[in-house]
A and B are shown apart, each in its own frame.
Chain A
């Protein structure tokens, strides 16, 4: 991992429009702040290396190094990263009566993680109006209040950083793939601190094809509806191609074509659809809106899922056979598009001595991921 300082982060990520507003660089110092889903630099800082740059998922992310850190020999040329198993899941009887995005798997697992003392608190994502913001929850009953997806890029990690700065450890986080990448870089003790202790006790990743820019989405919706009445947003599986907005007064559908221009630049070079660096990854399950796809990746994740299934927090089923190809196809498609885009923009494996890159991984793996296979039908 090549680590530079805040000025480089500002130039390479923020000024180039690659910042996804994940909050990874926020709350570490007085310089970076999050506001309305965007990260702003208040003052320049001339440190040559900094955690802000080290954590950022859009600056010098070395995928092979992250793979080695998680026990794999190198970054695999597979569409959904390394994993133990994939199952279908939904929340069990212990979480009855909660409204979640799809199967409620995330809420159920986080609630259990807190209730069982595996983590001391959970950093989740809530909203004020349509602006997402981090919420730190210490009681299991608080998890459900943050259920459901905010389709805007969220500064969740600023909440994680704030908790770590306050001395907290064993923190659970629900993270999009970019946020999970930042956490993986945090866990690597990038600045080689002597007293380093992995702050994240559990990372539950969400699938993600893209997110939307908060400010642009609000401006877009303001012209079409009273945004104070919005209750939930969903993007149903293809071939729908719509964003459904559920309000007090009924549903409205917006064609995805209209909202794709609101996707921030950072998503276009994001290769990860399934939160490959998380302990568990959760997404939707095509054709079964009240269920989830659940990918078990780490031992921590496996133990939690096993306990959840045993104690009535989670129901699991084997993954529907035809679905796996769809899932992996969509993930492969995102990876290919992102790597192509990053390469076209000069952000992939740039000459190490002279240029900085957003992403680095073995050139052969790049060929394998971009090279073959026809374009797969992508969900979004």
Chain B
């Protein structure tokens, strides 16, 4: 990220976006971590000191956007970064900031996850741009990721509106060549001017009040009209293809790469035109009218839902008198799927069907090789917790306490690595799993159902980072409404799933500075919960504490299970114990354990030796946490403290 203008670099999409942010002279960047967005703030944090920039991991996406907006109101350029789910968290503030406008360039970057590769959903946030009326940009390659990000700030300031840049996993996490531009040197000072007239966008207070809503709203719509006009000539909207194509493909984002590849493989350059849009909301009307007039049939290629498709259809209907009746292909007619990621194969299949060309068979030699490799199969890898993961121990305690309690109790789950506890690695403990913070929110609701005959105990779980993000309001709710629930905070001292970003429980921030901590047990106690803290590796204490909490017929109990993540920099590669299975004692298939350790506990560090007929420790994989020694009913697993 050093200042090397004019040079080409091989960078990841998220690095290209970061470079665009730097080239735009952004001074404040705030985010809540979430795959595939997290690298952006990480990269910025590394150069923040040199670039005289402030970066932070905010407590959640709404606060991140508020922090960025504050900088904008003070005249600085600012960015808020999140993944698609976070957009929903930020949405309330987003509606208001979109309406009221901004001062310094304010850009919201949403990195989305079609196919839900590392998300519990493949939710879309493009409709927010239409619904809340702000411009939406979708870069189609790595160079554009940088260039459009940088331009987004100019656009934002020109319009006085927040601008959204949308990336997807295949852009954010893939790498490509990017030519860097200049990094600016001037640094405006921050000042929030509020002495002007009430509704003055540049000097008045930044206030949304019921009275003048329609005045401000009309202004917002004027900004959108200006944006549409600017987009007419944007270099990010490009047409490639013949003057009179048989089919016009309209696309945006990484899908443009799939379209180009499909057209090239099928040799359709002379038959198919490709209109690649970078500015997908508001639509550039003249530009579209010109291109839609080129032919009768239109294929729209996008991920995931038919956002562009339906907007284009609506426009085509309005413009029918001028451009004629069009036949649209895309999601609505089933030419392309409305779920999951697209790829060149899917686009080729759609093109073949529409143009009635024989679907291209695979090259025979390639097919045979692929089949041979496929037949061998990749070794099966189950989704599981890492060796030495505190969550395995925590869920051992939680599962066993609920099972012993024997009233059909269950866990109301939340978002984090520990969401895997819905699977065998977490003993299938989670029975509800939705949004961040929903675990306790739902438990709070279940905890009020006893007048209707509900007698199942409920344990809500959340991670430490999730606790600050969205669980605190649910905790207040549960306490205030006297719901009878137990909350287990799985405190592994960091935002482990997304790469150990700092959170308010740690004495360090995104910039590496020492900062005050906000202690979860203290917070919970202050709110009025009954709080205990245990080490989840201490299985009996954890289980008994939970049993006591489940037995408490009233109020909210909080158990903080504190143990650092096995992959954390402090722990990684350092074994606390040397582990071994005593083959003399191990009963393996004998009545009693029935290979308890590998069949039920399932730490990847444990295996079964079919020759000896006993369990064994895989020294390479075992993290030396020592927990399995406590689960073996025969005491066959030995642990020796390392010096």
Contacts and interface: CB of A to CB of B under 8 A. Distances in A.
Interface in A37-79: 38, 40-43, 45-47, 50-51
Contacts of B405: 35, 40
B403 A41 contact: yes
A36 B399 CA distance: 17
Interface stretch (B184-192, B516-524, B589-597): B589-597
Contacts of A43: 403, 427, 600
B634 to A, nearest CB: 9
B591 A47 contact: yes
B563 interface: no
A29 B547 contact: no
Please indicate which of the listed interface residues A42, A46, A50 has the most CB atoms of chain B within 10 Å of its own CB: A42
Nearest to A38: B406
A287 interface: no
A262 B347 CA distance: 67
Interface in B384-414: 399-400, 403-406
Main SS class of interface, B: helix
A30 B404 CA distance: 12
A42 B633 contact: no
B547 A35 contact: yes
What interface size band does chain B fall in?
A: 10 to 19
A28 interface: yes
Interface string B574-609: 000000000000000001111010001000000000
Contacts of B400: 33, 42
A40 B406 contact: yes
A30 B596 CA distance: 8
B403 A29 contact: no
A30 B591 contact: no
A45 B404 contact: no
A35 B405 CA distance: 7
Nearest to B407: A215
A256 interface: no
Contact of B594 (A38, A46, A51): A46
A324 interface: no
A318 B600 CA distance: 58
Q: Which of B406, B427, B631 has the most CB of A within 10 A?
A: B406
A42 B596 contact: no
A36 B596 CA distance: 25
A191 interface: yes
A42 B631 CA distance: 13
Contacts of B547: 35
A192 to B, nearest CB: 12
A234 B404 CA distance: 29
Interface in B413-460: 427
B406 A29 contact: no
A50 B404 contact: no
Interface string B533-573: 00000000000000100000000000000000000000000
Contacts of A41: 403
B404 A29 contact: no
Contacts of A35: 404-406, 547
Contact of B593 (A30, A33, A42, A191): A30
Interface in B592-631: 592-594, 596, 600, 631
A54 B633 CA distance: 21
A286 B594 CA distance: 50
A45 B587 CA distance: 15
A207 to B, nearest CB: 28
B594 A42 contact: no
Contacts of A51: 591
Contact of A29 (B399, B427, B594): B594
A29 B600 contact: no
Nearest to A165: B592
Of A30, A36, A42, A191, most buried by chain B (CB within 10 Å of CB) is A30
A38 B407 CA distance: 10
Interface in A1-34: 28-30, 33
B591 A191 contact: yes
Interface string A179-216: 00000000000010000000000000000000000000
B404 A33 contact: yes
A51 B590 CA distance: 12
B594 A47 contact: yes
Nearest to A14: B406
A42 to B, nearest CB: 5
Contact of B403 (A28, A40, A47, A191): A40
Contacts of B591: 28-29, 47, 50-51, 191
B372 to A, nearest CB: 36
A29 B599 CA distance: 14
A232 B592 CA distance: 38
B409 to A, nearest CB: 11
Contacts of A36: 406
Contacts of B596: 29-30
Nearest to A33: B404
A42 B409 CA distance: 12
Contacts of B404: 33, 35, 40, 42
Nearest to B592: A29
A38 B596 CA distance: 23
Nearest to A39: B406
Nearest to B399: A42
A248 B631 CA distance: 43
A35 B631 CA distance: 18
Nearest to B589: A47
B456 to A, nearest CB: 14
Contacts of B406: 35-36, 38, 40
Q: What are the 4 closest A-B residue pairs judged by CB atoms, nearest first?
A: A35-B404, A40-B406, A30-B633, A42-B403
28 contacts: A28-B591, A29-B592, A29-B593, A29-B633, A30-B592, A30-B593, A30-B600, A30-B633, A33-B403, A33-B404, A35-B405, A36-B406, A38-B406, A40-B403, A40-B405, A40-B406, A42-B400, A42-B403, A42-B404, A43-B403, A43-B427, A43-B600, A45-B594, A46-B594, A47-B591, A47-B594, A51-B591, A191-B591
Given A30-B600, A42-B399, A43-B403, 6 more contacts: A30-B592, A30-B633, A38-B406, A42-B404, A47-B591, A191-B591
Interface of A: 28-30, 33, 35-36, 38, 40-43, 45-47, 50-51, 191
Interface of B: 399-400, 403-406, 427, 547, 591-594, 596, 600, 631, 633
